[in-house]
Structure 1
Amino acid sequence: MPADSASINQASSRVNLILLGITYLLYFGQLGILVPYLGIFLDGRGFSSQQIGELFALITIARILGPNLWASMADKSGKGLSILRLGSFLTFATFCCVFWLDGFWGLTFAFGLMMMFWTAVLPQLEVLTLNCVASDPSRYSLIRLWGSVGFIVLTVITGVGIDFTSSEAPIFISAVVLLCLFISTLFIRENQSDSAHSSSQSSIWGKAKTTPFILFMLSAIFLQVSFGTYYGFFALYTRDLGYSGQTTGILLGLAVAAEIGIFLVAGRLMKLFGIKWVLFASIILTAVRWYVLADAAEWLWVLILSQVLHAFSFGLHHAAAIKFIHEYFGKAFQSRGQALYISISFGIGGAVGNYVSGYLWQQGAGAYNAFVFSALTALVSGAFLLAVKGKEMTR
């Protein structure tokens, strides 16, 4: 049997696909720890809400540089799996600095360095998985779902851990998860026939400078700005409203469960309504979500409704955005197009949103203003998207 055929069989084997599912579970499980609970950890270390917002903004900047750097290295070397393993190891190693460093700049350095290496993981994992299921692309969604399961499980576990121990629980749980993530990457196999150098040396900027893409990116940036309050302060918000850590964990898990459901029908919705209108509807529902959190979060049923809307805020919007990037840039630029989208929207948008929400939060006294700000920026995001012609998002 030729070497390439053997590598393809190993890459698409049941064991390898299970390992990929476990890796997704651990990666998104880590997000389920830090995204909602990093604010509680920092609050426990004595940080003010403004300092929390500033730290979030500074470490988010790593998401601007990181994806493009790692994508370029992967394209030029053709060694995506090696970069995945290296990124996982360095993420774990630099994260452990939080056990020895303290204070604003010490923790900013530790989390920022960790985020720089963390951005190497997901793009390479996505490419690796898509190559492994190339013979049957429908298997991708079944593997990717384990990431959402991991987010739910680790979010609930960490919420319970905070209730029964202290605000330090997230960093101990994170260290264990990141170590397991690195170990899981050591056993993954790749399709060798797809690891050769295949990147085009031509420039991506011919596509990136077009009006439709610029408007799409402005919309994406403002949407991520709107997420700043939720990502930075939702767990603190529910705690201040009297909800337990376990309840917060269940609410966060509910959001991801809704996300799983929408992933299963996203393709049909985009085919029925088109990418533009799926994106626009998701953005408007996101604005509604932030406003009800601002105005009526003391009611549990409102919190539940707002978390169900995460299916649109992230799940459906993300699926449609990735499909737009996939179709708009074509095969030659798909990897770099995705890196550009992630770095600019999540990097710049996330950094601005975290900084402004931290300034507005004022130890919880400005919660209403912060979530109203999020709702308004989501509406601005929708306005930019409306300026794009529908046919320009499907060509």
Structure 2
Amino acid sequence: MPYLGVFLDGRGFSSTEIGELFALITLARIAGPNLLAAIADRTGKHLKCLQLGAFLTFSTFCLAFFVNGFWPLTISFAIMMMFWTAILPQIEVLTLNCVHAHAGRYSKIRLWGSIGYIVFTVLTGLMIDLFSSETPIFIGAFVLLSLFVATLFLTEPGHDPSINQVTESIWKKIHHPVFYGFLLSAILLQVSFGPYYGFFALYTRDLGYSGQTTGWLIALGVAAEVLIFLQAGKLIEKVGVKWILFLSMILTAIRWYLLAVLAQHWVVLIASQVLHAFSFGMAHSASMHFIHHYFGKKYQGQGQAIYASVAFGIGGAAGNYGAGWYWDQGQGAEFAFTLAAIFAFCSALTLLMIPAKRM
């Protein structure tokens, strides 16, 4: 994903088209997570849903080898994104069930995804320098095929029949000020990620950094994320979900502003990447902890799906579209990241309206 902008740029897309494509495929995240969630929660067959979704994700991603042009690529990536986001809640539910929602154990498992991310971002950046901007789709296909194969070796955690005895409606959980506040904060955070997800690799290239250097910078951010995952469980239990999220949003706002005004200095660029530990690592761990405990076992799959579809779907689409609109082939980079910092700050302010005891 960090190199999708480079891939599209290599195929002749303008920054506006890249932003529009990112926005349109991100909209698929609204429908995607709900495709399998209700079935998985009702049957308890989270693993079967994960395996089916992983196969369909790989299959549809491979369409990128055979199509070109704005709409063919947009449609193929959107279909892929729909299936991809359908399996993400199932991965989270399987993991949380295996560790019995223990925040420390969850974080220590989740960090291995970050380690894999480091390996492939560095490798992809190097391969782009050696070969071409088409490299990311070859590596992406390999990763997705490997994911499907890996799911075939997993086993389904024991299904707890007592969860079917819960009679409270999920709508009572959804229609509550606490959840609305959490969701609004998450949407604003994802809006702020628009310039980073869509244009960071192009931004660093415009600043004179090589593809391999960009790979190392992205890897540095994820390495910081790995380190914070090791401590996330203890920090969440000690400080609480609300204040962990609030701190993460404030640091994210600082991060985007540093990228806006001082990214030409490599020390500042490195510092901003280290803050990814909070922008994603701590924010993700705390959010997963909140959703799992807020919705309980019976509705955890649907709760994850609602969070993913609304926060990442609506928030991500709006952020990507806005970033593409203001980027202007790199001329609007400072304004785009400054606006991102404002959205992250507003995300933090939203959390102040939620009582800490309810999170």
Give the structure-2-normalised TM-score: 0.95
Q: Which of 319, 323, 339 pairs up with 2:305? A: 339
Q: Which of 170, 183, 190 pairs up with 2:136? A: 170
Go from structure 1 to structure 2 and tell me whether the alpha carbon gap of 1:268 and 1:198 turns closer, same or farther (over 3 Å shift). Answer: closer
Q: What secondary structure does 1:242 align onto?
A: coil
* Segment of structure 1 superposing worse, 134-143 or 379-388: 134-143
Q: What's the offset of the Cα at 1:86?
A: 0.9
* Matching residue of 1:215: 181
Q: What secondary structure does 2:154 align onto?
A: coil
Q: What's the offset of the Cα at 1:231?
A: 0.3
Summarize deviations over 1:3-27 as a string: whole Å, max 9, x none.
xxxxxxxxxxxxxxxxxxxxxxxxx
Alpha-carbon contact 2:103-2:289 (below 8 Å) kept: no
Alpha-carbon contact 2:193-2:319 (below 8 Å) kept: yes
Q: What's the offset of the Cα at 1:356?
A: 0.4
Q: What's the offset of the Cα at 1:81?
A: 1.6
Q: What secondary structure does 2:133 align onto?
A: coil
Alpha-carbon contact 2:34-2:86 (below 8 Å) kept: no
Go from structure 1 to structure 2 and tell me whether the alpha carbon gap of 1:299 and 1:109 turns closer, same or farther (over 3 Å shift). Answer: same
Q: What's the offset of the Cα at 1:361?
A: 0.1
Q: What's the offset of the Cα at 1:143?
A: 3.0
Go from structure 1 to structure 2 and tell me whether the alpha carbon gap of 1:201 and 1:351 turns closer, same or farther (over 3 Å shift). Answer: farther
Go from structure 1 to structure 2 and tell me whether the alpha carbon gap of 1:76 and 1:136 turns closer, same or farther (over 3 Å shift). Answer: closer
Go from structure 1 to structure 2 and tell me whether the alpha carbon gap of 1:231 and 1:189 turns closer, same or farther (over 3 Å shift). Answer: same
1:366 and 2:332 aligned: yes
Q: Which of 261, 286, 289 pairs up with 1:295? A: 261
* Matching residue of 2:159: 194
Summarize deviations over 1:145-204 as a string: whole Å, max 9, x none.
22111100000000001000010000111112211221222222223x328795556521
* Segment of structure 1 superposing worse, 69-78 or 221-230: 69-78
Alpha-carbon contact 1:70-1:119 (below 8 Å) kept: no
Summarize deviations over 1:32-81 as a string: whole Å, max 9, x none.
xx2x1000000001101111011001101111111122111212333222
* Matching residue of 1:77: 43
1:275 and 2:249 aligned: no
* Matching residue of 1:237: 203
1:113 and 2:74 aligned: no
Alpha-carbon contact 1:75-1:197 (below 8 Å) kept: no
Name the amino acid aligned to 2:230. L
Q: Which of 242, 259, 262 pairs up with 2:225? A: 259
Alpha-carbon contact 2:190-2:319 (below 8 Å) kept: yes
Go from structure 1 to structure 2 and tell me whether the alpha carbon gap of 1:89 and 1:285 turns closer, same or farther (over 3 Å shift). Answer: same
Name the amino acid aligned to 2:208. G
Alpha-carbon contact 2:203-2:333 (below 8 Å) kept: yes
- Rounded to whole Å, the distance in 2 between the matches of 1:315 and 1:392 is 22
Go from structure 1 to structure 2 and tell me whether the alpha carbon gap of 1:45 and 1:212 turns closer, same or farther (over 3 Å shift). Answer: same
Alpha-carbon contact 1:132-1:190 (below 8 Å) kept: no
- Rounded to whole Å, the distance in 2 between the matches of 1:332 and 1:194 is 11
Q: What's the offset of the Cα at 1:271?
A: 2.9
* Matching residue of 1:248: 214
Give the structure-1-normalised TM-score: 0.86
Gaps of 5+ in 1: 1-33
Q: Which of 322, 346, 349 pairs up with 1:383? A: 349
* Segment of structure 1 superposing worse, 130-139 or 119-128: 130-139
* Matching residue of 1:59: 25
1:329 and 2:295 aligned: yes
Q: What's the offset of the Cα at 1:276?
A: 1.4
Q: Among the aligned pairs, what percent are the same residue?
A: 62
Q: What secondary structure does 2:299 align onto?
A: helix
Q: What's the offset of the Cα at 1:367?
A: 0.3
Alpha-carbon contact 1:79-1:195 (below 8 Å) kept: no
- Rounded to whole Å, the distance in 2 between the matches of 1:231 and 1:103 is 21
Go from structure 1 to structure 2 and tell me whether the alpha carbon gap of 1:195 and 1:97 turns closer, same or farther (over 3 Å shift). Answer: farther
- Rounded to whole Å, the distance in 1 between the matches of 2:102 and 2:249 is 32
Alpha-carbon contact 1:71-1:123 (below 8 Å) kept: yes
Q: What secondary structure does 1:363 align onto?
A: coil
Summarize deviations over 1:237-293 as a string: whole Å, max 9, x none.
000000011111011111111111111112222233222111111101100000000
* Matching residue of 1:14: none
Go from structure 1 to structure 2 and tell me whether the alpha carbon gap of 1:271 and 1:195 turns closer, same or farther (over 3 Å shift). Answer: closer
- Rounded to whole Å, the distance in 2 between the matches of 1:250 and 1:58 is 29
Name the amino acid aligned to 2:35. L
- Rounded to whole Å, the distance in 2 between the matches of 1:332 and 1:195 is 9
Q: What's the offset of the Cα at 1:107?
A: 0.3
Name the amino acid aligned to 2:286. A
Alignment root-mean-square deviation, CA: 1.9
